[in-house]
Amino acid sequence: MEWNDAPQLDPRAVQATSVSAQDENASSQEPQALKITAASSNPKMFTLPWELPLSQWPADLFVNLPRGISRHVVRFVHVGDEVYAMKEITRQVAEREYELLRRLRKLELPTVTPIAVVAGRHDANGEKLEAMLVTKHLKFSLPYRALFARTLRPDTAERLIDALAVLMVRLHLSGFYWGDVSLSNVLFLRDADAFSAFLVDAETGDLHGSLTEGQREYDIDLARTNIIGELMDLSSGQLLPTEVDEISIGNRLVDRYHSLWSTLTDVDKFSPDEMWRIERRVNRLNELGFDVDELEMKTSEDGRRVLVRPRVVDAGYASRKLLRLTGLDVQENQARRL
């Protein structure tokens, strides 16, 4: 008796964008004139000084918002009534990340919203400039360093890790291999007395029909290593409460991830007269904030056991229920409390 686990990419993610992302190692001709591929119709995009390196843009365009650590030049920019995050990177990488973010948004996963790829940039002397990836600033969100720069509860690190574990499980369930998991690549929103985590950098990611255990474990191990290093960096800057154990926090991510993954994907085995256990399993998933859209049930060959596994799970159970009942659109933990 086998489960049908043939990987299939969610059809919502197949045709998410018209951008033809190239392999970043492949050579392709750079546009000779400015080319903006945008998911937004904001006309102010065309009035920005694309002929200048981002670091040299007029100061009155910039918005003073907390920024995370990045290996690229990143700025927040006023574009009409909106605030966009601009990141200078190569065209191939910009197109690939834009496409990935669009596909992840189609899957209703918590990521920043991609706005545009700007290529074919040249300065006044005709010299080529790097392309830009434009995303929408996530209102009220903060990078982890900005959170620790404030006076927070001692358990803040644990709450951030719990939010990151939920994000990783959601991404992995959808077949997204991150490849560079760290606190620096996440934005956090307050959600009641907890946090919600949003993916902000998909540069190294890839979307598959499903992930192997090896791919998931690599992401988890890398996350643990990076997080311990980031927390040690905070500790050296005296931004981390003295009672916080960096290694324990890193291990907490691994434990939380495996616990949630197991709850969502494990097979329950019970006798035919214990069907009430199905409802208990569904209720437990609802309590964790997940809707069960499909259950897969089979009987053993001798007919004496029933095997049940959640087949399709979607996060946002409480927020969707509250929206349906009241019209309020809030984060999951806030919805659960209401």
Tens digits of per-residue pLDDT, 310-338? Answer: 654 555 555 556 545 555 555 555 665 55
pLDDT bracket for residue 60 (50, 70, 90): very high
Say what the pLDDT of residue 292 is.
64
The answer to whether residue 207 is domain-embedded is: yes
Residues 282, 207 within the same domain:
no
Residues 170, 247 within the same domain:
yes
Q: Are 307 and 267 in contact (CB under 8 A)?
A: yes
Say what the pLDDT of residue 287 is.
76
pLDDT in tens, 259-312: 889 888 887 887 878 878 878 877 877 777 676 666 666 777 776 776 666 654
The answer to whether residue 88 is domain-embedded is: yes
pLDDT in tens, 192-250: 667 889 999 999 999 999 999 999 999 999 999 999 999 999 899 888 888 889 999 99
Model confidence at 109: pLDDT above 60: yes
Of residues 291 and 135, the one with the higher pLDDT is: 135
Q: Are 197 and 167 in contact (CB under 8 A)?
A: yes
Poorest-pLDDT segment among 69-73, 74-78, 164-168, 280-284: 280-284
Q: Cα separation of 289 and 272, whole Å?
A: 28
The answer to whether residue 214 is domain-embedded is: yes
Say what the pLDDT of residue 20 is.
54
Residues 16, 121 within the same domain:
yes
Residues 210, 175 within the same domain:
yes
The answer to whether residue 1 is domain-embedded is: no
Residues 227, 148 within the same domain:
yes
Say what the pLDDT of residue 1 is.
47
Q: Cα separation of 118 and 140, whole Å?
A: 26
Residues 46, 116 within the same domain:
yes
Residue at which a domain ends, from 119, 136, 153: 136
Cα dist from 51 to 62, 126, 128, 264, whole Å: 16, 9, 9, 49
Of residues 181 and 299, the one with the higher pLDDT is: 181
Say what the pLDDT of residue 293 is.
60
Which run of H or E residues covers position 172? helix 156-173
Residue at which a domain ends, from 265, 285, 308: 265
pLDDT bracket for residue 89 (50, 70, 90): very high
Total structural domains within the chain:
3
What percent of the chain shows pLDDT beyond 70? 76
Structural domain for 104, as ranges: 11-136
Poorest-pLDDT segment among 57-66, 135-144, 270-279: 270-279
CATH of the domain at 252: 1.10.510.10
Say what the pLDDT of residue 7 is.
54
Measured between alpha carbons, how far apart are the two ends of the chain, in Å? Answer: 43
Say what the pLDDT of residue 31 is.
76
Model confidence at 154: pLDDT above 60: yes
The answer to whether residue 2 is domain-embedded is: no
Residues 70, 93 within the same domain:
yes
Residue at which a domain ends, from 136, 157, 183: 136
Q: Cα separation of 264 and 282, whole Å?
A: 10
Poorest-pLDDT segment among 46-50, 130-134, 148-152, 229-233: 148-152
The answer to whether residue 277 is domain-embedded is: yes
SS3 assignment, position 292: strand
The answer to whether residue 4 is domain-embedded is: no
